[in-house]
Chains A and B, each alone.
Chain A
Amino acid sequence: MAEVSRKIVLPGDLLSTNPKTAGPNTYVEGNKVYARVLGLLDKTETMVKVIPLKGRYVPSLGDTVIGIVKEVTANGWIVDILSPYVAFLPVQENPAMRPNKKPNEVLDIGDAIIAKVMNIDPKMRVTLTMKDKLCRPIRVGRIVVINPTRVPRVIGKKGSMIKLLKSELDVQIIVGQNGLIWINGDRRKVSIAEEAIYIIEQEAHTEGLTDRIAEFIKKRKVEMGLAKPEEVEKEEVEEKAEELGKTEVEEERTEEVKMEEKPEESLEIPPEIPEERLKGE
């Protein structure tokens, strides 16, 4: 762990006297930069910003989100994305929409979708798009809801946590930035993944959380009869070695992880989808 202790700041704390460095979650007044939310101070020579510790999901451009269709209209769908704002998905932005189909034959009230934030206007009207490899309607699998501020932790440093879940349990996972997570695969394995995600959300102190989650998954696998106890011991040794390799590159910041995670996911998952869908339907 990097010993660059980041200070907790409260709203109103003076961060800098150079207004040019003001970054996200700060505000400028009288040529001074102040924090505007409770969070961790992240200060470099060029920018000072605050990483929030609490708060609701506020959409930003390009985010992957998981939403529930709330209303069907003639020119699109109104989607709940668990944020202060409702989002809108126009019919043009859904590739599954054909001219001879009615909107409610494509997506109906209560359907879940994975979409991307395409546009946000100044009045905070959010427009979604499904024209992306990652985007799809959710017909199979399970959705887990967590606090959106915990999303970076579920992804982990350089995606370490999500990789662990994917490889250990052999399930598909897509993390929405709004705190909704879609898991698909063997039902028992999905249950373990769900439990693991709730543990990650609960555990405030993450010291060695990746290791603990790995242990938890092994224990649950044995309990569910998915793995034999002897096998586990062998795997554990391999896992340890892997972990050692990982910790050395664990210095990246959580903010960056988000950016890196998305392309990686979109490359990995799509090929699996057609067969997965056939299985479920």
Chain B
Amino acid sequence: MEEIKLIVNGKRLDGRDFEELRPIKIEAGVLNRADGSCYLEMGGNKVVAAVYGPREVHPKHLEDPSKAIIRYRYSMAPFSVEERKRPGPDRRSIEISKVSREALEPVIMKELFPRSAIDIFVEVLQADAGSRTACLNAASVALIDAGIPMKGMVTSVAVAKVDGILVLDPMKEEDNYGEADIPFAFLIRNGKIESITLLQMDGRVSKEELKKALEMAKKGAMQIYQLQREAILKKYIKEEEVME
């Protein structure tokens, strides 16, 4: 794979610096029939998240008498990738759904809604690298838009290693031909990173590199957090005037 140079003159293929995010666009409350929703673009990713609930659990045997259950579905549209994807869940999307759900579970205050369910659906309309991080960011905004009690905001970003250098928010080529891909998700509270809620890694990195990757991810997450906040505030600024 030596023909593909991912880093030329200290710049990445799309002209970004190593610690620069792709352009991000976030819009909250885009769906009428959902309790909360969010449309998010992160580079080439285009995702929509919808939140329903808390609502009654069906089937009943899944009900938890002490707290709400959380269901997360990550799904890719057949037209979201270069080669048409067969619709329906596959091993990859089931795994992403699981880890994403676990990233949100400690943040949502489930114990306030016993015997109910909070359903989160995220649909990838167009996929680029890091669609799971884009989905988590969208889901987090949609949850807040739905008015669900949470400890804070979840913000997610990935770090990759290409040509021996760590880069923030990898794009497709860097993901495909790079040496490692490390998605992170953080709980951000009051503008500070409190804890890690998702950490995955695929590839080869040294101990020091992993530590450095974490620092880079934190910086990137803070930038995304600001955009998430802005997106929600933009939608609700009108309401503020009303309730005064």
A122 to B112, CA, bound (A): 10
Task: Report if A86-B56 is in contact (Cβ < 8 Å); known contacts: A14-B190, A38-B232, A40-B240.
Answer: yes
A244 to B191, CA, bound (A): 44
Binary contact readout B229-244 vs A (1 if CB under 8 angstroms, 0 otherwise): 1001100111111111
Chain B residues positioned under 8 Å from A2 (CB to CB)? 244
Binary contact readout A29-56 vs B (1 if CB under 8 angstroms, 0 otherwise): 1000010111110000000000111111
- Residue from the list B55, B152, B241 in contact with A34, Cβ < 8 A: B152
Q: How many contacts between A and B, using CB within 8 angstroms?
A: 118
Query: Shortest beta-carbon distance, A117 to chain B, in Å?
Result: 16
Between A4, A7, A36, the greatest number of chain B beta carbons within 10 A of the residue's beta carbon is seen for A36
**Chain B interfacial residues counted at CB < 8 A:** 39
**Chain A interfacial residues counted at CB < 8 A:** 42
Interface: B147 (CB within 8 A): yes
Query: Shortest beta-carbon distance, A232 to chain B, in Å?
Result: 28
Binary contact readout A60-86 vs B (1 if CB under 8 angstroms, 0 otherwise): 000000000000000000000000111
Interface: B169 (CB within 8 A): no
Among residues 185 to 209 in chain B, which have CB atoms less than 8 Å away from a CB atom of chain A? 187-190
Binary contact readout A214-239 vs B (1 if CB under 8 angstroms, 0 otherwise): 00000000000000000000000000
Interface: B174 (CB within 8 A): no
Chain B residues positioned under 8 Å from A7 (CB to CB)? 240
- Residue from the list B113, B149, B229, B240 in contact with A84, Cβ < 8 A: B113
Chain B residues positioned under 8 Å from A4 (CB to CB)? 244
Q: Which residues of A contact B (CB under 8 A)?
A: 1-8, 10-14, 25, 27, 29, 34, 36-40, 51-56, 58, 84-86, 122-124, 149, 153, 204-207, 254
Q: Which 7 A-B pairs have the closest CB atoms?
A: A12-B152, A55-B147, A54-B147, A12-B189, A84-B116, A11-B150, A84-B54
Q: Which residues of B contact A (CB under 8 A)?
A: 35-36, 53-56, 65-66, 109, 113-116, 144-153, 187-190, 229, 232-233, 236-244
Can you list 29 pairs linking A and B with CB atoms under 8 Å apart?
A6-B243, A8-B239, A10-B153, A10-B232, A11-B153, A12-B152, A12-B188, A12-B189, A14-B190, A25-B149, A27-B109, A34-B152, A36-B150, A36-B151, A37-B149, A38-B144, A39-B147, A40-B240, A54-B145, A56-B147, A84-B56, A84-B113, A84-B116, A86-B56, A123-B114, A124-B114, A124-B116, A206-B242, A207-B241
